[in-house]
Chains A and B, each alone.
Chain A
Amino acid sequence: MAPEFVKVGKHNIDAKEYLAPGHTFCTGCGEALAIRLVCKALGENTIIGMATGCDEVCTSPLPVTSWRLPWLHTLFENAAAEVSGMEAGLKAMMRKGKAPQRDIKFVAMAGDGGTSDIGLQALSGALERGHDFLYVCWDNEAYMNTGIQRSSATPYGASTTTAPAGKLSMGQQTQKKNMVEICVAHEIPYAATACPSYPFDLMNKIKKAVEIKGPAYVHVFVPCPTGWRTPSNQTIEIGKLAVETGVFPLYEVENGRYRLNVDPPKLKPVEQYLKPQGRFRHLSPGEISEIQERVTEGYARLKEKATSFPAG
């Protein structure tokens, strides 16, 4: 019999693969890595509701599927609403004796566009209503499935197909929407950031998020070699650099209290993160230092929160 768990250091990782091989994600896709790990953290008593996006398209070409977990996809903007219905519906059926009593994890998954743009209303509604579910956002910082169009999660200065760098433009002119803070403002019990470059941190957060009663939100930073124009063997490295430069800090917010999970003694210069990526190649030294200033300030603000309102 195959072992149920694989021991990695002090961690027991579910040996089962819930995302079956044969999917069509790009080589080096950070999202595919994250989905695999997140599903291992969730385990088999899980029902997934997914928004339209790379994750859905790459895993479900009829009549086959990569999903070994029960899985629903309907539309782009409604993952939080459909999972609201699953959670409330199955719990009502359990209460009424129409379905066996058991602990099922209800999980919504969507990309950054499906979360911070078109799906924001449905997410806000589901968080406010207090459904007992986990919402996972795969943030690759643009509409990658449709061809690298900008979203509200695209960072300042990135070149995308609808906010391209050109003679008169340095690409994205707006700052990345802060989804975690928007979720925290709903006063939900748990919100966190994560990245597959830190696999145990990611899996621990998913486990924690589904154990907590009520809505939980995990924002997963998933480098996209295709859209970011990075070599496909650099996905993990890029994710690490995002954290080490303070561009994408790893933290969690429990009942409004903050904890930085990775807090390097000294942040690396953002240039080290920007440089390897084609989407930032056009940036001038002045623009890079502007980004550096914002990152430094943002990180300091986050540290201040973690000091003033510390978790646990």
Chain B
Amino acid sequence: MSKRVVLEASHAVAEAVKMADVDVVAAYPITPQTHIPERLAEMVADGELDAAYIPVESEHSAMSTALGAAAVGARAFTTTAGQGLELMHEPVYIAASHRYPIVMAVCNRALSAPISIWCDHSDVMSCRDTGWIQVFCQNNQESFDMTLWAFRVGEDPSVMFPVMVNLDGFTLSHVTEPLLLPDQADADRFLPKYEYRLALKPEAPTSHGGFGLPDIYTEVKFAQEVALRGSRAVLDKGWKEFADIFGREYKAVETYKADGAKTLLVTMGSLGETAKMVVDSKREKGEAVGHLNLRLWRPFPFADFREAVKGVDTLVVLDRCFSFGGPGGPVCSELRAALFDMDKRPKVVGFIGGIGGREIDAETFAYMIDRGKEIAEKGSEYLYEPVLVRGLERGTGVRG
């Protein structure tokens, strides 16, 4: 039986970590992630969670400590945001390369300079190619659910990859709303005990982290690529089992009111909630508009995405990150690449906004849909259009 509670999203993540009975939490405080480690430290201090809480001296050490814990077979969790993710960038790669199923919650935050503690997706986009499984959450329930799911799929013997659970800083991490918390027994049923076959132990010594000469490095990295792509079936199986036990269904690519839609608004993260409200009002006005939530960012769900946009004329994509001097927002350019080989593909219109905590409201989404349709019809000289930039007239953008 689940119980209905009212929790901040950060605390919902902490509850999932507790139910996963982690052995190690290694974290360094950074706004807006702080409520997660604070709550976990409290749980450890009160005996609610039997784990080593390691208050490391930096994010680099947070991930490095998690690597050491994972190497001996411990279930390890860490969490960070923004600059913290940048500082830990180096060991983030190691976690995936060593196939340690560490779970990390990232409360997405803008990057310096200028320093900003508020939300956008610049931090996680810099980790796009680190080899982690990466998912995004839209609300508090999902923040709990994805965290528990992350342990389940990451530790699957055929997966063994770290999982990054992204929740938007402040606009999701600090929001309090109702959610269902499962029984520990159900959580245990979903998440079996973790046993790491290659754990470092004296009776069967193994070496982790040897160096790769040119005659082997390519094979090692290719094996990693094949394994990450191959994990996809288990990710879906994990969501299926989750639905069977807890009744909530998740997919790599989720659509809302997409039946017969000619235009889909595409978002990642908590803005999906606002986007869906806008879709509702557009539908009421008789416009064939739907929403597409990209839950799984890595491994990228190519087939699901192509299937979801069949019959759609226009995709209106919001990126919360600049790719300076590049092809537009990272999500938008990725979607374009995913569609390029299709015979009949929708027109993809890119917007960049919601940077450094600037709010994207319903009116802006409505505008993006209208403008997107207009561009799809008449074409545009721009690579993408930024929204809500002071001094920039609507309908103007950035040329390639």
Contacts and interface: CB of A to CB of B under 8 A. Distances in A.
Interface of A: 44-47, 49, 56-57, 60-65, 67-75, 77-78, 80-93, 95-96, 98-99, 104, 121-122, 124-125, 128-129
B47 interface: no
A63 B207 CA distance: 10
B208 A81 contact: no
B141 to A, nearest CB: 29
B213 A85 contact: no
Given A84-B68, A85-B76, A86-B72, A70 B60 contact: no
Nearest to A47: B200
Shortest beta-carbon contacts, A-B, top 3: A85-B68, A89-B74, A89-B69
B80 interface: no
A60 B73 CA distance: 21
B57 A92 contact: no
A62 B23 contact: no
Contact of B23 (A46, A70, A98, A125): A98
Contacts of A122: 57-58, 60-61, 64
Contacts of B70: 85, 89
Contacts of A73: 208-211
Contacts of B21: 96
A70 B67 contact: no
Q: Which of B21, B50, B74, B94 has its CB near the most chain A CB atoms (within 10 A)?
A: B74
Given A44-B202, A89-B68, 20 more contacts: A62-B212, A71-B206, A73-B210, A74-B64, A74-B98, A75-B90, A75-B91, A78-B64, A82-B64, A84-B26, A84-B56, A85-B67, A88-B52, A89-B69, A89-B72, A92-B23, A92-B74, A96-B21, A121-B57, A129-B55
Interface residues of B, number: 45
Given A93-B74, A122-B60, A125-B57, A71 B207 contact: yes
Contacts, number: 169
B185 interface: no
A85 B69 contact: yes
B64 A104 contact: no
Interface of B: 21, 23-24, 26, 50-52, 54-58, 60-61, 64-74, 76, 90-91, 94, 98, 193, 200-202, 205-213, 216, 220
B67 to A, nearest CB: 5
B68 A72 contact: yes
A204 B56 CA distance: 31
A113 B321 CA distance: 37
B211 A57 contact: yes
